[in-house]
Amino acid sequence: MTHEATGANLADGLDTQAASQAASPVVLDVRGLVAEVQTPRGSARLVDSVSLSVAAGKTLAVVGESGSGKTMTFLSVLGIAPPAVRVTAGQVLLGGRDVLASTPEQLRAMRGTVVSMVFQDPLTALNPVFTVGTQISEVLRAHLPISAREARERAVALLERVHIPSPARRLDDYPHQFSGGMRQRVLIAMAIALGPRVLIADEPTTALDVTVQAQILELLTQLREETGMALVLITHDLGLVARHADDVAVFYAGRIVERTAVDPLFAEPRHPYTTSLFRSIPRLDEAPGTKLTPIAGLPPNLTALPPGCAFAARCDMRADDCTTRRPELVPAPGPDHLSACLYWPRLAADASPS
């Protein structure tokens, strides 16, 4: 680890967590990503100018209401967005490789080895007619020149790593013989089988009960620590974010509206949408019985976005220019804190001497 950047960061008043992050190599770097779909009502930007990065050994949480573009962003990152969805701008660097300039063959070779994705529904992601051992072995043998016997041995070791009891015996079981939580562990075993540098977990625990959710997150965090891979955790659960993430990107209507480290996001959110999100979702770090307020209104239709801020119709801090000016993601008060809200630039303009 070099300390060159660390001194400068400390001088800027950043905490040691941010300083150590500066020292880890960035393994996923997304810049200005745009993904569009043509509809009868014109083109819609499902992903609009998204920029984010994750360093080795760190966890980026991605939050936002359903339909805000979280899944589409990462399907685009893996080159597996539905055919109707076209990436029309931006750059995606994965382990230093340019994803959008890669051939389908190169992308296939990167999946599993450089990046893996785990989805919400562990049942549909596994093939019901093959044993889990066969499915894990297939992942291994598609990329490695190993014998069937060796693949089987490695599959047992992988099941052990994801804490499936009696792994050698469970290898010959079919997916339906596993509980939901155990199936998700099998999928995680398949996702880490080839040692990816980035693991994207898309609402990996939504279908599971609360105790199992916590165990799966513990497992993902443990694997991240052991392997030094980067973890992208797409989740609705702000309690999981607080406990497991280093940084957070808040999505709204296809854009990132706030991006910073976990502590400042929870202590001083700099976007009214994030504040509303905190008020609308139960949090384990708050006293039980804290009153929840659902966010009034609905997200805008992506084919007919309003000209100004996409959150304006639902925002209780709205001012006149919010419906005409589009807020960009720019620095807000606090170190490394970005917000796409006109409130902060307005405040800065009011405070500066005229």
Residues that bind ligand ADP (CB under 6 A): 37, 46, 64, 66-72, 82, 84-85, 302
Given the rule CB under 5 A, which residues bind Mg ion? 71
From the list 312, 323, 236, the residue with the least C-alpha distance to 271 is 312
In the numeric block, the tokens 């202590």 are attached to 267
User: Least Å distance between CB 296 and ligand ADP?
Assistant: 20
User: Least Å distance between CB 320 and ligand SF4?
Assistant: 10
Specify whether the CB–CB gap between 64 and 250 falls below 8 A.
yes
> Would you count residue 315 as binding ligand SF4 (CB under 6 A)?
yes
Burial of 194 (0-12, 13-18, 19+ CB in 10 A): middle
Q: What are residue 198's DSSP bridge partners?
A: 115, 230
> Would you count residue 342 as binding ligand SF4 (CB under 6 A)?
yes
> Would you count residue 329 as binding ligand SF4 (CB under 6 A)?
no
By a kind-dependent CB cut-off of 5 to 8 A, residue 82 interacts, out of ligand SF4, Mg ion, ligand ADP, none, with ligand ADP
Specify whether the CB–CB gap between 314 and 306 falls below 8 A.
no
Segments in 178-297 forming alpha helices (H): 180-192, 210-227, 238-244, 262-267, 272-280
CA-atom Rg of the chain in angstroms: 21
Q: CB under 6 A: which stretch of 25-33, 130-138, 148-156, 340-348 binds ligand SF4? A: 340-348
Q: What are residue 53's DSSP bridge partners?
A: 29
Q: Choose between 252 and 343: whose C-beta lies nearer to ligand ADP.
A: 252
Q: Choose between 23 and 313: whose C-beta lies nearer to ligand SF4.
A: 313
From the list 55, 51, 99, 62, the residue with the least C-alpha distance to 77 is 99
Query: CA 336, CA 68: separation in Å to the nearest integer?
Result: 23
> Would you count residue 157 as binding ligand SF4 (CB under 6 A)?
no
Q: Token pair of 80, please?
A: 């597996």
Residues with Cβ within 8 Å of residue 45, at least 6 apart in sequence:
34, 35, 36, 254, 302, 305
Specify whether the CB–CB gap between 48 and 34 falls below 8 A.
yes
Q: Choose between 227 and 303: whose C-beta lies nearer to ligand ADP.
A: 303
User: Least Å distance between CB 314 and ligand SF4?
Assistant: 8
Task: State the residue number with the nearest CB to Mg ion.
Answer: 71
Q: Choose between 46 and 256: whose C-beta lies nearer to ligand ADP.
A: 46
Q: Choose between 55 and 250: whose C-beta lies nearer to Mg ion.
A: 250
Q: Between 274 and 313, how does the x/- string for binding to ligand SF4 read (CB under 6 A)? A: -----------------------------------x-xx-
User: Least Å distance between CB 269 and ligand SF4?
Assistant: 11
Q: Choose between 36 and 161: whose C-beta lies nearer to ligand ADP.
A: 36
Specify whether the CB–CB gap between 85 and 76 falls below 8 A.
yes
User: Least Å distance between CB 198 and ligand ADP?
Assistant: 18
By a kind-dependent CB cut-off of 5 to 8 A, residue 341 interacts, out of ligand SF4, Mg ion, ligand ADP, none, with ligand SF4
- What does the angle CA 196 – CA 200 – CA 202 come to, to the nearest 5 degrees? 150
By a kind-dependent CB cut-off of 5 to 8 A, residue 94 interacts, out of ligand ADP, ligand SF4, Mg ion, none, with none
> Would you count residue 74 as binding ligand SF4 (CB under 6 A)?
no
Binding site for ligand SF4 (CB under 6 A): 272, 309, 311-312, 315, 317-318, 322, 327, 341-343
